[in-house]
Amino acid sequence: MAKNLSLDKGGVVRIGATTSIAGDLYHFLLTAPWWKLIAMMLGLYVLGNALFALGYMALADGIENAEPGSFSHAFFFSVQTMATIGYGKLVPRSTAANLLVTFEAFVGLFGVALSTGIMFAKFSRPTSRVLFSKVAVICDHLGTPSLMFRMANERRNQILEAQVRLVLVRFEQTPEGERFRRLHDLRLIRDSSPFFAATFSVIHPITADSVLHSSLSDRVLHDDDVIVATFVGLDDDFGQMVHARHNYQIDDVRWGARLVDVLGTNEQGQRTIDLRRFHDVVDAPLASPQSAEPSQPLSQASGRPIEPPAR
């Protein structure tokens, strides 16, 4: 089944949107990958110096000690001017050249200020290193079928007042024939923790009031269902809020399975987390007589019942 990317960043094509990159340049640069930002800055730097070099070449003998018509001399003179280096050998010797140098120096200062501000803003953005298990499982927990997944803090710090929210996103149709996206809150046994330093198990009991309860008896789910987990907390080191999000498609949910235990202790008596097995699951058939085969995906086709395994 193809992944439902409508809830991922960039997963929706906004037809007719008036916002362009130029009109929202700061947001684009702030969210762009580092390699793309550096490549853009380098490209603009080279292009700007090349344009100014052409301007100096158009002034004929505007640069002292430069070879007439030499693009390389004009280009490197532009680099020295924009960077306010000034080695002293290549100097402007006409009024027009000095005016162009003045303008380029201003452009250089303006460019340095902008690039410094963008890079500082990217460096100073608080980020989280929250690891979500790649799969969610449905297994018995305290005698109740439950949807479970877990998170781990990959940093050696604490996230205070951690809050987790779980939502099922499902497309539904009204009696009038209108199709819309509905959000169903999935109640958790614990949706908060005063501190998050190691792992956090997120558990939704599938009781009679759960929107997933009908799936246990009817085994009917929709391929476009998405379970969205959001996380927010206060970074103890920086004193700023951090957040994370993860989507579970229906194929990411394992029926009749349980996440393996990753907590332990080493020889020094310290608590350990084995992240190498963080995403591993083991078979854990549900107690219900209608349980599906262990580790079977939660759905296999849109709107079709899941067939029970052969006995």
Alpha helices in the chain (DSSP H): 25-31, 34-58, 71-82, 95-124, 213-218
Helix axes 71-82, 95-124, angle to 10 degrees: 60
Same-domain status, 157 and 218: yes
Q: How confident is the model at residue 28 (pLDDT cuts 50, 70, 90)?
A: confident
Q: Give residue 89's pLDDT.
A: 85
The predicted-structure confidence for 29-66, as pLDDT tens digits, reads as follows 888 899 999 999 999 999 999 999 999 998 878 888 88
Same-domain status, 280 and 152: yes
- Report the distance separating Cα 22 and Cα 307, nearest Å: 53
Same-domain status, 292 and 151: yes
pLDDT at residue 294 is higher than 70: no
- Report the distance separating Cα 40 and Cα 34, nearest Å: 10
For CA atoms 290, 293, 294, 298, give the dihedral sign. negative
The answer to whether residue 308 is domain-embedded is no
Q: Which of 11-15, 26-30, 76-80 has the highest mean pLDDT?
A: 76-80
Q: Give residue 131's pLDDT.
A: 92
Return the higher-pLDDT residue of 221 and 104.
104
The predicted-structure confidence for 69-94, as pLDDT tens digits, reads as follows 889 999 999 999 998 887 878 888 88
Helix axes 95-124, 34-58, angle to 10 degrees: 180
DSSP state of 208: T
Domain count, the chain: 2
The last residue of one of the domains, among 109, 124, 139, is 124
DSSP state of 279: T
Same-domain status, 149 and 263: yes
The answer to whether residue 178 is domain-embedded is yes
The predicted-structure confidence for 115-150, as pLDDT tens digits, reads as follows 999 999 888 887 888 999 999 998 888 888 899 999
Q: Give residue 308's pLDDT.
A: 35
> Token pair 């200062």 is at which residue?
109
For CA atoms 20, 23, 29, 35, give the dihedral sign. positive
Return the higher-pLDDT residue of 295 and 210.
210
For CA atoms 95, 96, 101, 103, give the dihedral sign. positive
Domain that holds residue 225: 130-297
Determine contact, residues 133/199, Cβ cutoff 8 Å: no
* Tokens at 110, concatenated: 């303006």
Same-domain status, 156 and 292: yes
Q: Give residue 112's pLDDT.
A: 92
Three-state DSSP class for residue 275: helix
**CATH code assigned at 88:** 1.10.287.70
The answer to whether residue 150 is domain-embedded is yes
Q: Give residue 300's pLDDT.
A: 40
The last residue of one of the domains, among 61, 89, 124, is 124
The last residue of one of the domains, among 74, 102, 124, is 124
Same-domain status, 225 and 279: yes
Q: Give residue 303's pLDDT.
A: 37
Same-domain status, 106 and 140: no
pLDDT at residue 3 is higher than 70: no
**CATH code assigned at 208:** 2.60.40.1400
| CA distances, 3 to each of 7, 8, 185, 248, 267 (Å) | 10, 10, 22, 10, 43
The answer to whether residue 213 is domain-embedded is yes
Three-state DSSP class for residue 179: strand
Same-domain status, 60 and 141: no
Q: Give residue 139's pLDDT.
A: 87
Same-domain status, 162 and 237: yes
Q: Give residue 222's pLDDT.
A: 66
- pTM, two decimals, is 0.72
Instruction: Name the nearest CA neighbour of 136 among 307, 236, 253, 239.
Output: 253
- Report the distance separating Cα 167 and Cα 114, nearest Å: 40
pLDDT at residue 26 is higher than 70: yes
According to DSSP, the β-strands at 91-92 and 159-173 are: unpaired
Q: Give residue 291's pLDDT.
A: 43
* Tokens at 40, concatenated: 């853009």
* Tokens at 178, concatenated: 């209108």
Percent with pLDDT over 70 in the chain = 83
The predicted-structure confidence for 212-265, as pLDDT tens digits, reads as follows 887 766 554 567 788 999 999 998 888 889 999 999 988 888 888 899 988 888
The answer to whether residue 15 is domain-embedded is no
Q: How confident is the model at residue 8 (pLDDT cuts 50, 70, 90)?
A: low
Determine contact, residues 221/250, Cβ cutoff 8 Å: yes
Same-domain status, 72 and 91: yes
Determine contact, residues 149/247, Cβ cutoff 8 Å: no
- Report the distance separating Cα 46 and Cα 27, nearest Å: 23
The answer to whether residue 118 is domain-embedded is yes
- Lowest-confidence segment of 13-22, 279-288, 290-299 by average pLDDT: 290-299
* Tokens at 27, concatenated: 């947001």
Same-domain status, 138 and 265: yes
Same-domain status, 113 and 228: no
pLDDT at residue 189 is higher than 90: yes
- Report the distance separating Cα 7 and Cα 9, nearest Å: 7
Q: Give residue 18's pLDDT.
A: 65
The answer to whether residue 310 is domain-embedded is no
